[in-house]
């Protein structure tokens, strides 16, 4: 029951994962990565690949899941930092930008396969992004007392802007990154400001109780 066998298996599994990651670059997309290349880089025979993953897709989905997990862990850290005081937006932007810098390949993978040709990939990544939005929307609703629908829309807009700017930051020299961060913060503040402005104006016209018209509870669909 030592599991010396299982240990070794896990080891070459990691080797495959790392081999894939190490081959990703601005010039090389995951989708154009070949099974044989990955196996070669991991120092195993092409045929042995199948002992660990059925497809290259299965390997890729593993990368997506691990990337999403990392991101969510960072978010938790961020919420802790927030308790110490400081601007939510600034802290969140910093965390996000750090994540991108420290996980360039994974973030590029997320970006590319988000609009890629594999439905499974797209859904997996959409799911990760949805987590992101939901947590933010909950925060805005619960902590910032924003109306539920407005919170959802604000979170949606913010996450979209954040991911889009992240894509630009990905291949930007570090020197230009600072300015981009400041722009990001301003844009997110703009969104936040607009949301509260809309909320108060709705409250004003409609009295006090239910502010925004109840949009269908149809859960997480398009936006």
Partner DNA sequence: AAATTCAGCGAACAGTTGTTCGCTAAAAAG
Partner DNA sequence: CTTTTTAGCGAACAACTGTTCGCTGAATTT
We find the least distance from the C-beta atom of residue 17 to a copy of itself, in angstroms, to be 21
We find the least distance from the C-beta atom of residue 43 to DNA, in angstroms, to be 7
The residues in 33-62 that bind DNA, with binding defined as CB under 7 A, are 34-37, 43-48, 50-52, 55-56
Does residue number 98 form part of the binding site for a copy of itself (CB under 8 A)?
Answer: no
Which does residue 5 bind out of DNA, a copy of itself, none, counting CB within 5 to 8 angstroms by kind?
DNA
Phi then psi for residue 138, to 5 deg, are: -60, -45
Among the listed residues 70, 84, 33, the one whose alpha carbon sits nearest the alpha carbon of residue 55: 33
The residues in 7-36 that bind DNA, with binding defined as CB under 7 A, are 8-9, 12, 34-36
Site for a copy of itself, rule CB under 8 A: 26-29, 31-32, 108, 111-112, 114-117, 119, 122, 153-154, 156-157, 160-161, 163-165, 167-169, 171-172, 176-177, 179-180, 182-184, 186-187, 189-195, 197-198, 215-216, 218, 221-223
* Binding stretches for DNA (CB under 7 A): 1-6, 8-9, 12, 34-37, 43-48, 50-52, 55-56
């Amino acid at each position: 029951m030592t599991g010396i066998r299982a240990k070794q298996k896990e080891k070459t599994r990691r080797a495959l994962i790392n081999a894939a990651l190490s081959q990703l670059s601005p010039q090389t997309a995951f989708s154009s990565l070949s099974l044989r290349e990955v196996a070669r880089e991991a120092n195993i025979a092409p045929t042995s690949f199948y002992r660990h993953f059925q497809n290259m897709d299965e390997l890729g989905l593993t990368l997506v899941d691990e990337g999403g997990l990392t991101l969510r862990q960072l978010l938790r850290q961020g919420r802790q930092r927030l308790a110490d005081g400081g601007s939510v937006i600034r802290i969140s932007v910093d965390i996000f930008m750090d994540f991108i810098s420290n996980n360039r390949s994974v973030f590029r993978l997320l970006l590319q396969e988000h609009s890629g040709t594999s439905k499974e990939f797209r859904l997996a990544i959409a799911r990760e992004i949805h987590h992101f939005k939901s947590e933010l929307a909950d925060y805005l609703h619960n902590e910032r007392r924003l109306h539920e629908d407005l919170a959802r829309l604000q979170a949606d807009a913010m996450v979209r802007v954040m991911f889009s700017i992240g894509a630009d930051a990905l291949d930007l020299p570090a020197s230009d990154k600072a300015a981009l961060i400041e722009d990001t913060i301003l844009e997110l503040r703009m969104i936040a400001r607009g949301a509260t402005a809309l909320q108060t104006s709705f409250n004003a016209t409609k009295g006090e109780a239910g502010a925004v018209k109840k949009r269908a509870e149809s859960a997480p669909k398009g936006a």
